Amino acid sequence: MLANTDSYRHDFRMDLTSVDLEWVQERLRTFIAETRAVNQSSSSSRATLITARTAPSCGRDKALALAEVARPILDKLYPEWRSENTSTKNDEFLGERDAAKRLLARLDKHAEVTEKLGGADTSPRLAAGALHPLIWRAAEAQWSTGHRHEAVLAAAKAVNSHLQTKLNRRDISEADLVRQAFSDRAPEVGKPRLRFTSIEDDQTRESMRQGVMNFGSGCFAAIRNPVGHLPNADLELSEQTSLERLAALSLLARWIDEAEAVHIQS
């Protein structure tokens, strides 16, 4: 139920700024009409072929071209369309067509529903694509298919790999690695530390070191471990919850980037 509630809320929080609605609606309607499924059963004097397979009325080549326009529209205004609309082997473009129909209905009623629900939400929003590139690159494939649980896990693994690479350490990982990376101990052989050397004030620099150490280890303990250890059915993540977790991992990745690896003095 969480996923459905989240999806409904998203439908009427669409950011339509600078969107050419007339063009969008025209392209969606054209896609729906041109890719209408035509049954491929046939008969002749020699034989009759009965099949459940269909083909788009405009032909597959044209349908593919139309889909290249429809899919980006759906991705922008209806990000969950792939997980909420599925195609079948008998109707290749069914998922896109159903998603286009849903989006058209939402656009047609967007102004009315927004008004009846108390007006548009003008609060700032965080776009997943604006997160640290490492995070969204790792999470995007799973997210696009509706697997938010796996998207968060992939992002956490990407941060861990990023930290291991920066310190050239594969012997430990995740929370232990964060604690050692930002430890107040001096660097040791094979154990460099991360320091915020660009911060001039001693107290602020120490506060950042300690804060990022605790924040980073907390991210792996409270974000990575649950999604990695619990079955998907036991941990259904809503869109908002998932985005908040990705944002936390993004912040950790940026702090890792800002810190300098300090090695033992030779």
Q: What is the pLDDT of residue 10?
A: 45
The whole domain housing 95 covers 11-116
Pair 184, 256 in one domain: yes
Pair 132, 258 in one domain: yes
Q: Check residue 58 and give left, alpha or beta (phi > 0: left; psi -120 to 50: alpha).
A: alpha
**CA–CA dist 101, 29 (Å, integer):** 8
Pair 68, 141 in one domain: no
Pair 165, 94 in one domain: no
Query: Does 2 fall in a domain?
Result: no
Query: Does 58 fall in a domain?
Result: yes
Query: Does 217 fall in a domain?
Result: yes
Q: How far is CA 105 from CA 18, 81, 100, 101, 108, in A?
A: 20, 14, 9, 6, 5
Residue at 28: amino acid letter: L
Positions in the chain short of pLDDT 70: 1-13, 119-122, 231-235, 266
Pair 179, 102 in one domain: no
Domain boundary among 116, 150, 166: 116
What 8-state DSSP symbol labels residue 234? G
Pair 101, 148 in one domain: no
Length reported for the chain: 266
Query: Does 160 fall in a domain?
Result: yes
Pair 144, 246 in one domain: yes
pTM beyond 0.75, yes or no: no
Query: Does 123 fall in a domain?
Result: no
Which own/partner pairs from 40-45 qualify as long-range (CB within 8 Å, at least 24 positions apart)? none
Pair 110, 197 in one domain: no
Total of domains in the chain: 2
Residue indicated by tokens 């810190």? 259
CB 28, CB 75: distance < 8 Å: no
Query: Does 183 fall in a domain?
Result: yes
DSSP codes, 120-137 = ---S----GGGS-HHHHH
CB 137, CB 158: distance < 8 Å: yes
Closest CA to 158 of 188, 138, 132: 138
**CA–CA dist 139, 237 (Å, integer):** 14
What 8-state DSSP symbol labels residue 233? G
CB 207, CB 234: distance < 8 Å: no
Closest CA to 35 of 100, 105, 104: 100
Residue at 121: amino acid letter: D
Query: Does 122 fall in a domain?
Result: no
Q: What is the pLDDT of residue 119?
A: 65
Query: Does 1 fall in a domain?
Result: no
Pair 142, 244 in one domain: yes
Pair 89, 181 in one domain: no
Domain boundary among 116, 141, 166: 116
Domain boundary among 89, 116, 143: 116
Pair 133, 258 in one domain: yes
Pair 137, 103 in one domain: no
